[in-house]
Amino acid sequence: MPQRHITVQQAAAIEEVNSPGLYNRLSPSNQASVQAWIQRAISPGTGRTSDGRMSSYGLKHCFERSPGGFYLTNGAFKGAMLAAGYEPRDSTALNWQFRIEPRCPRRIRQQFLGRGTYPYIIDWEGTAEDKTAA
């Protein structure tokens, strides 16, 4: 496979859109929307059970597709995760991994994983029983 070479300007643009500082450029209402989604969709994972399949880039797409979601850069989403108290496993990586799990109940997670989709995208309104079985 041939190597791709990028210009200094292209490299700077890539670095810019992946900067967590872009979160601070979001309006306060957009910051609140992202934080509300993170709180609804994600919970801290333990080292043993955390989900390593979703990166900041994948999670940002889940947010964008969720009810009330909107476009934001990978960098802005990384900054949102930092603001929510989540630390990346490797902050030098382009797409950050976090120790997280989806908040939806385990049985719903299994249904979505079996279909090749991912449960972070859903905005489920479960029963009280569902919420305690998560």
In the chain, the percentage of residues whose pLDDT exceeds 90 is 37
Q: Which amino acid is at 39?
A: Q
For residue 81, being part of any structural domain is answered with yes
For residue 46, being part of any structural domain is answered with yes
Report how many domains make up the chain.
1
DSSP assignments along 85-106, one per residue: TPPBS-TTSSS-BBSEEESS-H
What is the enclosing helix (H) or strand (E) of 17? helix 8-17
Strand partners, 42: 102
For residue 75, being part of any structural domain is answered with yes
For residue 126, being part of any structural domain is answered with no
Domain that holds residue 74: 8-103
For residue 123, being part of any structural domain is answered with no
For residue 65, being part of any structural domain is answered with yes
**Per-residue pLDDT band at 50 (split at 50, 70, 90):** low
Looking at residue 119, what is its pLDDT? Answer: 55
Residue 18 pLDDT greater than 70, yes or no: yes
Looking at residue 36, what is its pLDDT? Answer: 92
For residue 133, being part of any structural domain is answered with no
For residue 54, being part of any structural domain is answered with yes
**CB 20, CB 78: distance < 8 Å:** yes
Helices 8-17/74-83 angle, 10° precision = 40
pTM beyond 0.85: the answer is no
